[in-house]
Structure 1
Amino acid sequence: MSVQQRRERERAERHQLIIDTARELAESDGWDAVTTRRLAEKVEYSQPVLYSHFKGKDAIVRAVAVQGFADLGRQMRDARTTATAPLRALAETYLRFARERPALYDAMFVQRIDIAFGSDETPVELRTSFGEIVAALEPVADGRDLDVLAEAFWSALHGIATLRHGQRLRPDLDEDRLDLVLSAFAPH
């Protein structure tokens, strides 16, 4: 391995360490606790080193969110392609992801990040994740606009996830809510 290759590998590892540490810190203490100073201390690098990887906290949150979309997309694809009820499996996976990884979900959907949704500049991880929703709905679209259907389904799941996280919904009705959403989008 050349010196240049080793440096590139070390830089990539440092970059990933910063992302992982930010996500862990957010999961334990919330996004307000994630500061460049605190991150620099946690990863044991100076703030200038941190800034050599990211312009600031917003860029770090963006990187965490993009990786979150990649994780969510993989999980939804696995659920959709292995289940006998693909749409239900995808929806359950989405809601479980939001429940089990609240700070990551927050980075992806609540924090203000510089990511274009639904445009040519949308990162591939987001498009792939959304594509899983589209793929799960395609068999039940029945001539309806698939993108609109997917956006509405995604909105319903996001609403449930957000209200559930905020303890605005009764947990004993989780299954009933999901049944209702699924029957509205896949009435067969």
Structure 2
Amino acid sequence: MSATGERRERDRAHRHQLIITAARDLAETEGWDAVTTRRLAERVEYSQPVLYSHFDGKDAIVGAVALAGFDDLATHLRHARQSAPDRPLRALCRAYLGFATERPALYQAMFILPTDLKFASTETPPPLRAAFDEFVSCFRPDNERRELFAEVLWSALHGIAVLSDSGRIPLSGQEQRLDFLVDRLADTTPPMQAPT
């Protein structure tokens, strides 16, 4: 590729990221209803046709925001898990709920709004798989059902996050819920070593 072609690609990638960041910021401050191509075009100072040259519409923008969010989530969960080697599952659960609470619009893009992101599929994008693998890694390697445990745990945490956000369950019971989940699903003790 020529130097001019490389520069064009860098400029295009920069514009692409600028649109994603603007959509995420606008959603976090005003909600997803405020994210329109007109508003985004004003924010990034490009025309609507330029936006459409990057994304087919709002659903595609939401999908791009969600994908970037899964990358953030995987990093967030990894950090929490590694910072608490004695109780990685509890740390990961807390980090997940904190992520959902601190970034509600991003969480909506990742889990509530329509996207074409596929879970539990050969087409699952690497950031989604990386986030899921953080859950899996909290369970013993010799547990043949560790992916099932991870799915159930993630589903339960998602339910807690959504129900808490909507006010249907009180935040005051969060620690009890976490204790219950971790106590019921924890299978993180390493297998007993045979004496040598």
* Structure-1-length-normalised TM-score: 0.94
Offset of residue 72 of structure 1: 0.2
The residue number in structure 2 matching 1:32 is: 33
Q: Does 2:55 correspond to 1:54?
A: yes
Cα displacement (A) at 1:108: 0.3
CA distance in 1, matches of 2:138, 2:11: 39
The percent of aligned pairs where both chains have the same amino acid is 57
Q: Which residue of 2 aligns with 1:87?
A: 89
- Other-structure match for 2:137: 135
Shift of 1:176: 1.1
Q: Distance in 1 between matches of 2:140 and 2:80?
A: 15
Distance 2:171 2:73 in 1: 23
Question: How far apart, in 1, do the equivalents of 2:132 and 2:144 lie?
Answer: 17
> Where do 5+ consecutive residues of structure 1 fail to align?
none
**Which consecutive unaligned segments of at least 5 residues does structure 2 have?**
190-196
The structure richer in helix per residue is 1
SS at match of 2:120: coil
SS at match of 1:138: coil
Paired position in structure 1 for 2:153: 153
CA RMSD of aligned residues (A): 1.5
Q: Secondary structure at the match of 1:137?
A: coil
TM-score w.r.t. length of structure 2: 0.90
Give the superposition deviation at 1:144.
5.3
- The higher radius of gyration belongs to 2
Match of 1:119 among 118, 121, 132: 121
Q: Aligned residue pairs: how many?
A: 186
**Could you tell me which residue of structure 1 aligns to residue 72 of structure 2?**
71
Q: Structure 1: how far apart are the matches of 2:55 and 2:143? A: 45
- Equivalent position SS for 1:111: coil
Tell me the amino acid that sits aligned with residue 61 of structure 1. Answer: V
